[in-house]
Chain A
Amino acid sequence: MQLNLQNENPQMTVEEFVKKSPAELDIKVLAGDLGLSKRKITSERIQKLGLALAGFAHYIHSGRIQIVGQSEIQYLNQLEPSKKKEVLKNLDLTQICCILITKSLEPPQEFKEFAQQNEIPILQTSLLSSGTITAVTSFLQEELAPVANLHGVLVAMYGIGVLILGKSGIGKSECALDLLTRGHRLIADDSVIIKKVGNRLMGESPELTYEHLEIRGLGILNIRELFGISSVGKRKRIILCIKLKKWDEFQEIERLGCELREEDFLGIKIPEVVLPVSPGRNISTLVETAVKVHLLREEGFDAAQLLIEKHSAMVSGE
């Protein structure tokens, strides 16, 4: 699907990282503060500096936080004083955005001095390496997520985010309203912000239109006021996409229900169901059923497939 990306090359300065990072990381700047605003983090993936310190520095990726833990610090400590500077000197300093030392460990003085002179931020956290990596990755996945905006409605149904798409005027908002009266939750109407967080596709509402829905003839409605707090939600992982299409736009309709379709959003494939819309077809019942069918299929139950198997046994058995 063609989307308008809102952030072409997501990145953040090390300074922003220090300010915004989650409290559990408790980041302190040990050295290289002059480099904080100059050096940029561009990848959600971290790297461990380990072998690079030992001389094998071919695979350092710029834009990744370099994690240094106990083994690296012990390695540095047992080096002769003159070598302690050299290990950093041997690295391509333009490739290193910052170094994050875990477990509140202290690097050798020479190492810090060299970093200070060369404006390489040395950060420190109290967390262990494993916890640091998890916290940093999930924080960066969120901060550096590709973000796009699309026209549609996002509803949370049976615990999953269901994105309803279709041309203007086909009845997406009316369908959402109907779903709300059945106890489902509105996440976003009309404009949905989608984010690729790791391998998940998250959807949320723009701040301005949160909890609002527009229905032709009724105008703008506040859903929380009308249906209560349980009828709205901030954000949901998108698991299924339902496309509403006018009946006459269909060339052919798949009758068995075996053809599984997918749509690509920001590089993530989402199962898709295309529903023909016409007067007399209750769209919200169809959407609700499509979601249940999807949930059953995820559990391994596929009604169409089972019936086909039963049928072919019958046909070939005769």
Chain B
Amino acid sequence: MPERKVKIVNQLGLHARAAAQLVKLASKFQSSITLKRADNSVVADAKSILSVLTLAAPKGTEIFVTVEGVDEEKALDAIEEIFQNGFGEL
């Protein structure tokens, strides 16, 4: 069950449209993908939009991404990448 820490780098943080993009991406993988805020332990399912919104994470928030399933490595890389490129807003 690989885990990696990512950071929100775009100005607006994990806002609604960014969250929608993240969910869209996560839904393409078979693995279950969990996001956990490093500071307050709020946990979210990356395939559910309402769940991701509850993270309410501004710029600079650190998040642990945990992936479990047949395509976990691929999924983890893809999720890390979308965080790193600031949901295409950098």
Chains A and B come from one and the same complex: yes
State in angstroms the CA–CA spacing of A223 and B24 once bound together.
42
Report chain B residues within 8 Å CB of A318: 56, 58
The count of chain B contact residues (Cβ–Cβ below 8 Å) is: 14
Number of interface residues of A (CB under 8 A): 14
Q: Among the interface residues A253, A255, A311, A318, which one has the most CB atoms of the partner chain B within 10 A?
A: A255
> B12 and A315: CB pair below 8 A?
yes
The reply to whether A315 and B15 contact each other, CB–CB distance below 8 Å, is yes
Is B12 a contact of A255 with CB atoms below 8 Å?
no
State whether B13 touches A255 (Cβ < 8 A): no
Complex CA gap A312/B55 in Å reads 11
- Which residue in A254, A258, A307, A316 is a CB contact (below 8 Å) of B53? A307
Q: Which of chain A's residues have a CB closer than 8 A to the CB of B76?
A: none
Among candidates A255, A308, A315, residue contacting B24 with C-beta atoms closer than 8 Å: A255
Give me 8 other A-B pairs in contact (C-beta within 8 A), A315-B13, A315-B58 excluded.
Answer: A252-B24, A307-B53, A308-B15, A308-B16, A311-B53, A311-B56, A315-B15, A316-B13
Q: Which residues does A use to contact B, with CB under 8 Å?
A: 252-256, 258, 307-308, 311-312, 314-316, 318
List 24 A-B pairs, Cβ < 8 Å.
A253-B24, A255-B20, A255-B23, A255-B24, A256-B17, A256-B49, A307-B16, A307-B53, A308-B15, A308-B16, A311-B16, A311-B53, A311-B56, A312-B12, A312-B15, A312-B16, A314-B56, A315-B13, A315-B15, A315-B58, A316-B12, A316-B13, A318-B56, A318-B58
